[in-house]
Amino acid sequence: MKKITTLRQAAITSVAHYLPEEVLPNSFFSSYLDTSDEWIKTRTGINTRRILRKGGSSDLALPAVKRLLEKRGITANDIDIIIFCTVTPDMFFPSTACVLQDKIGAKNAWGFDLSGACSGFLFGLETGRRFIEAGGAEKVLVIGADKMSSIIDYNDRNTCPLFGDGGGAVLLEPIEESEYGILDSILHIDGSGGEHLHMKAGGSLNPTTHETVDKKWHYVYQEGKTVFKSAVVGMADVSAEIVEKNHLTSDDIAYLVPHQANLRIIDATRERMGIPPEKVMINIDKYGNTTAATIPICLSEWHEAGKIAKGDYLVLASFGAGYTWGSILIRWAY
Ligand code: UT7
């Protein structure tokens, strides 16, 4: 690889996504739990979500990455780094980046998994961007993929209707025109929020035992209302802040690309930014919360529909377990 020492601009040059075929409608949950289509729709904005029965998160990423390479007209051997953002890795180790590297045959790549929950994709984008800017890589694959159905208790009505499975991927490359690409980021973590949204067991603190399984400690635990309150403030604040910091106004923003956890959180962020509903990417109605995958899936769907143009300013924003949250400002480059 050519060694470049000057700082250069990183941009998304290809994007793709994959959703498993099986659709789980709200009526599935109301058929056996004390819930209703009406409750789920009005409290979350979700109508359906997709479920992967066989395979792991690498299988959600694989079709997306194949499509991304095809769109860009390159092969897997051209990839330098794979950053796999997920909280549902195929297994603890080897990393899902390694699993995917083997599946696509990216012989010249190295890579790693990144655990940032719902903000994972933004953290991955920032990491990939810095490798490109510093001259450490020419082509970085940033993937957000989560098989949430693997860590959901389908008897807990507080969490099971919220999540779905999916994967999205972007390619980062250096570009000549410095006014395009990834322009800025504001990222945060606050571990004191961890108690409100986590998975208790399976790690080194609480290794898997019969007891941890009996206690259902291998499922997502969420205090919905508490997380909701922090998410509304956190996501709205960083979204407004990045626009102001870059001397832009809401009129300059083509799209807000929010993490899809709850339509009411998205609406609060949009209102705080003062932008109209048509400038917000929303697909939570179809796919629910796919954790690290929501933002790249949105980007891919809107790009495929021809709704993103070169020069468009996009604000990507997220809030999730950790707590983790942030925003990234992009000027679309192709
Ligand atoms: O992506 C990671 C970050 N996560 C988030 O951003 C999620 C943030 N939180 C939320 O999206 C919302 O808090 C939820 C959708 C999880 C819950 O909505 P809520 O309006 O905050 O409801 P709640 O938790 O305050 O519950 C209200 C009531 C409760 O009943 P009581 O105690 O008032 O009798 C719940 O037991 O709704 C009940 N409830 C349900 N009822 C029917 C909770 N889940 C359900 C359900 N169906 N599925």
Confidence of residue 4 (pLDDT cuts 50, 70, 90): very low
Active-site position among 17, 160, 196, 259? 259
* Dihedral class, residue 116 (left if φ above 0, else alpha if ψ from -120 to 50, else beta): alpha
Phi/psi of residue 259, nearest 5 degrees: -60, 140
Mean pLDDT of the chain: 96
- DSSP run (H or E) holding 233: helix 224-245
pLDDT tens sequence across 272-289: 999 999 999 999 999 999
pLDDT of 7 > 80? The answer is: no
Q: Which residue from 43, 226, 266 has its CB within 8 A of the most atoms of ligand 1, so it is best to mutate?
A: 43
Minimum CA distance residue for ligand 1 atom 19: 225
For residue 258, whether the previous peptide bond is cis, meaning omega lies within 30 degrees of 0, is no
Q: Do residues 241 and 301 make contact, with C-beta atoms less than 8 angstroms apart?
A: no
Crossing angle of helices 57-72 and 96-104, in 10° steps, is: 50
Region 139-150 average pLDDT = 98
Confidence at residue 178, expressed as pLDDT on a 0 to 100 scale = 87
CA distance 122 to 324: 10
Show the CA angle centred on residue 124, arms to residues 1 and 289, nearest 5°. 145
Confidence at residue 6, expressed as pLDDT on a 0 to 100 scale = 57
pLDDT tens sequence across 101-115: 999 999 999 999 999
CA distance 46 to 40: 6
pLDDT of 21 > 50? The answer is: yes
pLDDT tens sequence across 54-88: 999 999 999 999 999 999 999 999 999 999 999 99
Active-site position among 26, 262, 289, 298? 289
Confidence at residue 35, expressed as pLDDT on a 0 to 100 scale = 97
Burial 117-139 (b: 16+ CB within 10 A, else e): bbbbbbbbbbbbbbbbbebebbb
CA distance 309 to 238: 24
List, chain by chain if needed, residues with CB within 6 Å of any ligand 1 atom.
35, 39-40, 43-44, 118, 157-158, 161, 224-225, 227-228, 231, 261-262, 265, 289, 319-321
CA distance 89 to 4: 33
DSSP code string of 28-83: HHHTTSS--HHHHHHHH--SEEEE--SS-HHHHHHHHHHHHHHHHT--GGG--EEE
- DSSP-derived letter for residue 107 is T
